[in-house]
Each structure stands twice: as structure tokens, then as C-alpha cells.
Amino acid sequence: MARVERHFVCQACGAVGSRWAGRCDSCGGWNTIVEEAAARETAPKGLGAKRGRRLDFVALDGPGEPLVRLETGIAELDRVFGGGLIPGSAALVAGDPGIGKSTLLLQAAAGLAAKGLPCAYVSGEEGVEQIRLRANRLGLGGAPVALAAATSLRDILTGLEAITPPPVAVIVDSIQTLFLDSLDSAPGTVAQVRAAAHELIRFAKRSGAALLIVGHVTKEGMIAGPKVLEHMVDTVIYFEGERGHQFRIVRAIKNRFGPTDEIGVFEMTGAGLKEVSNPSALFLPADRAAVSGTAIFAGIEGTRPLLVEIQALVVSAPPGSPRRTVVGWDSGRLAMVLAVLEARAGLAFGGYDVFLNVAGGLRIEEPAADLAVAAALVSARTEIPLDAKAVIFGEIGLSGEVRPVAQAAARLKEAEKLGFERALAPRDAAAAGSGLVIETLARVDELVERLGPALPAARRSGAVTPRNRPDRHG
């Protein structure tokens, strides 16, 4: 007979304890510990002596079936997955509420169904009529997608197994709404999310259907539920974007069947999410007028070169601690670039508020944006505009050197295609071969000196330079 044991589980990290506490010792979260009940069956006698089934091992270089991908008809989404969905795989799609997860997955299901591939869409948050209303608004009302609204995992699995022909893709929206009746905890708890995901993944592996699971995110932007949920699935997709921007970024941070950090760019319209085939043209301003504090960064997102505008604003700060506000970039890296500009180029920002923004709602992760950020900061500090026909990329070291970055040729080719004429880049970019005029930089102080007469004025205003910096010992 099953023996019921009660324990306390942290809903943020999944740590288990024997008593309740206000603060989790594992992750430091406050008020995240919830009491749960789980049934534990005692092991039958002699189980330890029972031998298991013998495994048949094969050679590493043996013959195998090639991966057959299911193309959704949405090129940007297929790019993120590495060319399409893999039968029998499980993917987790997470993002902020209302950002468009359900809309995009409904469009993907309709695209597969339009090719004669049966698909099933199970919602635990909306009713069937709500899904039909959205489908009609998107012009997908005639797509042969099997719909259901349920939260009981047992009912969902029984219904999926009864569909004829079996679905090749199953969408579950969302994992936090499902419950397994063998557990006493509420839906959305660590135990329920882990158990529901395990059963759904087992169904996908057994049936060969591609599984797409929608996941909620916390206020910190992390996927809600146990961290093991990201390890259980094959692909983890993040939906990024701001409500004030019409652009949405779909980014793969884990992919067992394709590249990671690949992105797909979409535009939110009244007719759903519309894919953007040339995102560089949308992230750049239409006129590209020369304005101080703006720099065009030639970046790489996954396998795609992408040009984006970086904006900086430097204003006098009141006495006290100056503000450092960053949108779309790492705040710690901004502090490092500011320190290098002061220590290696003599341009101080101690008495100024600094605001940095990546235009269009995109978030940049690669360190190749250091030089473009430094150029925007110097331009805003000296009030001298940069060349509107120039792109900038390069990593900055703590000693002030400009370090080379990967895929310089792809960055330059994208810039040339969009009508740019010059590039400020590390020394190795000159060998990449391009129709652009490439101006190489070895150190960050060379970037400051190129902006002309404003630097001496900045130094006379009280900036500390390497020449007049006081000695530590007096």
C-alpha cells in the first residue's frame, strides 16, 4: 500500500525540505516554498537482485536514418528550429504574457495542417471558441487543426491517442495549467510541471509526434517551474520583444537538432505575426541622418548578420551617483567600456548620466558590440556625429586594445548590401575582402582621437588622462 509523505518544495528551484521556511536555502527566493504531498511506494522484496533487459550497443559510425524535418511554412520559425520540427522531439516555447506565443503556434499548426499533416492543439487556458475566434481573425478558420480545451493530463493523453490519423505535431498551451490526478499538489507546482512534462515527452517519443509546450515566465524573465524542465526538452525557445514595439524576436537558447542563438524576426500586425525577411532594414532608421550618440553595429545573431542602431545619451548629472541606464545590452559590460574609455583614452563620464539603448527592442549578447557602444558614447560625450554611412564592430579589452571578432566577412557583406560605405573594425577585418572602405583600429584611444578637436576640450573640463593622473602615493 502506498505511504503518503509530505514535504516542502521550492517553486523556484525545486529544492525539497522537511519543514517550511520563508526563504529557500538553495536559491535564496522568498515565499517560494509550498507544502506538497507525494505517494511513495515501497519497493518489493528481491527487486535489487532482479536483472534488467540486456541492451544492444551499436557502433558510433553505423548507418542511420537522416532527420526528416517538418516545415511549418513559416521560414523564420523554421530557421530557429534548424530547418523545421523533428518528429518525436519536444520543444519548450516561453515568453511574456500577451507577446504572441499562442498566435505563432496556431499559425504554425495551421501551416502544417495545410500541407496535409494532422496537428492537434490543446489549450488549458482558453476555450475552443476563443481559439476559433483567433483563428478566424488570422484567416486560419478553415485549417483542419484538431482543437481541445482540457487540463487533465490523463484526458489529454487518452484523447491524443484516439485521434485518427495520429497527429504529427502536438501543441500544449500551457504546461503550468496541466495536472496529474495521482499528485495532490496544485497545477503549476514543481511536482505537477515536472510530472506533466515527463508524460508528454514520453508520448512524443513513443508516437513520433513533434511536441511544442508553452511555458510561462516569472517576473525576472526566467521560465517558471523547475529548472529541470529545460533539461528534459530538446529545444528551448524564448519569445522576446517589448509591448511598445511591433517587432518580436524568437530566439533558440538550446537546440539538440540545430544551431543555438539563432533568431527569427516577426512583426506583430492585426492579422497575426508576419515574418520579416530582412530585419536589418527594419532595425535601422529610414533616413540614417548623422546624429551625435548613434552608431550602427554590424552584429551576428546565430548564423544571420544583422545591423542595428545603438543610441547613447550623455547628460550632466547632479551631484551624487550618476545614473547608468541600459536597454538591450549588458549593464556590466557598459560599466567596463566606460572604465576603459576613462583609463585608456582619458574621457571621463563620472559627472554624467549615461543612457544606452539598442533600437528596435533587440537584445545584443555578443561582445563584438563593444566598439560600437564606445563610439556611440564618445560621440554623445563630444557631441560630434559619426558617419551615417559607417558600420562599427569589435571587442574591447581591459587594456584598451580592439580585439578581433568572428565572421567579419559576413558583417561587412551585409553592410555593403544595405548601402554602407565605411567600416570601423579590428585589424584582421582588412583581410576579409569587401567593397567597403575599412578603417582598422588597434586601440580604443584611436577611436577617440578620430573625433577631432572635442577631446582636448573634454580634457580641459576636468577629465583625468593617463598623463595627468595623480600618483596613488601622492
- 378-400, pLDDT tens digit by residue? 999 999 999 999 999 999 999 99
pLDDT at 462 over 50: no
- 16-25, pLDDT tens digit by residue? 888 888 888 8
pLDDT of residue 361: 80
User: Domain extents for the chain?
Assistant: 3-41, 75-277, 282-460
Where would I find the beta strands (DSSP E) of 45-133? 90-95, 119-123
Under 8 Å between Cβ of 314 and 377 = yes
- Mean pLDDT, residues 262-290: 83
- HEC sequence for 125-167: CCCHHHHHHHHHHCCCCCCCEEEEECCEHHHHHHHHHCCCCCC
- Mean pLDDT, residues 317-334: 92
Angle at 116 between CA 200 and CA 203, to 5 degrees: 10
Where would I find the beta strands (DSSP E) of 256-389? 263-269, 272-275, 294-301, 304-316, 324-327, 352-358
pLDDT of residue 183: 85
φ, ψ at 188 (rounded to 5°): 95, -10
φ, ψ at 412 (rounded to 5°): -70, -35
pLDDT of residue 92: 96
- 348-375, pLDDT tens digit by residue? 998 999 999 998 888 898 999 999 999 9
Q: One-letter amino acid identity for 199?
A: E
The rounded percent of the chain whose pLDDT value lies above 70 is: 90
pLDDT band with cut points at 50, 70 and 90 for residue 244: low
How far is residue 302's CA from residue 237's CA, in Å, rounded to a whole number?
13
How far is residue 224's CA from residue 201's CA, in Å, rounded to a whole number?
18
pTM: 0.76
pLDDT band with cut points at 50, 70 and 90 for residue 37: low
Q: Residue ranges of the alpha helices (H) in 278-330? A: 279-283
* Sign of the Cα pseudo-torsion (43, 48, 50, 55, in order): positive
pLDDT band with cut points at 50, 70 and 90 for residue 26: confident
Pairing of strands 352-358, 247-255: unpaired
Cell of 105: 503556434
Report the Cα–Cα distance between both ends of the chain, in Å, rounded.
80
Overall fold of domain 282-460: Ribosomal Protein S5; domain 2 (3.30.230)
Under 8 Å between Cβ of 284 and 308 = yes
Q: What share of the chain is helix, strand, coil (3-state, %, to 5)?
A: 30, 25, 45
Cβ neighbours, 10 Å, residue 97 = 8
β partners of residue 306:
299
pLDDT of residue 94: 93
DSSP-assigned letter for residue 314: E
Cβ neighbours, 10 Å, residue 108 = 26
pLDDT band with cut points at 50, 70 and 90 for residue 214: very high
Higher-confidence position of 220 and 146: 146
pLDDT band with cut points at 50, 70 and 90 for residue 465: very low
Average pLDDT of every residue of the chain: 86
How far is residue 223's CA from residue 99's CA, in Å, rounded to a whole number?
15
Cell of 459: 580634457
pLDDT of residue 302: 81
- Mean pLDDT, residues 434-441: 90
Higher-confidence position of 240 and 347: 347
pLDDT band with cut points at 50, 70 and 90 for residue 281: confident
* CATH class, range 75-277: alpha beta
